[in-house]
Structure 1
Amino acid sequence: MKINWGTGIVIAFALFMSFILYFVFEVQSNAKYDNDLVVEEYYKHDSHFQEEMARVQNAHDLQQKPSITFGEEGVKVAFPSTFESDKITGNVLLYRPSNKKFDFNTKIALTNSALFIPKDKLIKGRWDVNMEWQYNGTKYLTKEVIYVN
């Protein structure tokens, strides 16, 4: 049987489509390729964007800002000594962009104006730290990126 160029193009197109569909089904069915959203309720999260920006601006306007650093022992969140430790409330979200299974929240409980998160709770790589906190009725949001070695 002789195949002309039109039939060859149709066969090549069908093979290409089969190739693409195979990979689509493979990625969707295999748990190895986790394709979760970055935020579960994206649109609900986006509707509060203006409030979030106001809290970020509040934190930016502070004369003395809290610091988030990574050291040998772990992550240290330090507030300036001008803040009264017992009036600071909130939580610290450590967010792992590559895998949400490692994300965790820690309530702010200060010892000597600082919060310490041990290194053994963290895996190597990039972590986004979002600290939502409140002091004297004003809400703040501090965002940092740290790299764990």
Structure 2
Amino acid sequence: MMKKFNWGTGIFIFFVFYVGWLAVTLYRSTQIDHHLVVEDYYAKDIAYQTHYDKVKNRERLVRDLYIRYQTDDNKIVLDFGPQKNEIDVIVNLYRPDNKWRDLKKNFNNISEPSIEIDTNDLKSGRWVVKVEWNDGVRSYYKEEGLFINSA
């Protein structure tokens, strides 16, 4: 003979499933990497006005920086166009899903109109190219997302 299902049994079953769901959710939340993407997040937030000024300076340029990925050579090309002065360039290759793969390159006293960056060592996927440069008078900034398909 089967026992009759009453409200007390229903509450007990609900409580068991609820506690089980909480335990699974807690376990899964401990398996996710919650690191900050940028180490000095708060310092960068405070200095945002200088970043904004660099973006506005770039928007006033006659010829904007052109960023492209050449699939046949596996290179990122930064085309600044003709420059009157030598420029100092900082390139950050930012990987949105993993901060440990980020890469920073410095180029000083560049007089050529373009810079090539080899991407053979980079993992395939989405990258954000952040370029900051200074021509001795003003500082500029541009960022652009690229999909790199390395061999």
State the identity as a percent: 30
Matches within 5 A, 1:120-139: 120-139=120-139
CA deviation string 1:67-119 (max 9, x = no partner): 111002210112111343xx211310000101112110011254732221112
Amino acid at match of 2:49: Q
Q: Distance in 2 between matches of 1:10 and 1:48?
A: 55
Q: Which stretch of structure 1 is more off in the superposition, 70-79 or 102-111?
A: 102-111
Query: What root-mean-square deviation, in Å, do the aligned CA atoms of Structure 1 and Structure 2 show?
Result: 2.2
Amino acid at match of 1:139: S
Matches within 5 A, 1:92-111: 92-109=91-108, 110=110
Matched, 1:55 2:54: yes
The TM-score normalised by the length of structure 1 is 0.82
Closer, same or farther: CA 83–10 of 1 in aligned 2, 3 Å? farther
Q: Distance in 2 between matches of 1:3 and 1:41?
A: 58
Q: Distance in 1 between matches of 2:43 and 2:115?
A: 30
Q: Which stretch of structure 1 is more off in the superposition, 138-147 or 33-42?
A: 33-42
Q: Distance in 1 between matches of 2:15 and 2:60?
A: 59
Q: Distance in 2 between matches of 1:52 and 1:79?
A: 19
Counterpart residue number, 2:22: 20
What secondary structure does 1:91 align onto? strand
Give 1:46 shift: 1.4
Closer, same or farther: CA 49–16 of 1 in aligned 2, 3 Å? same
Deviation beyond 6 Å, 4+ runs, structure 1: none
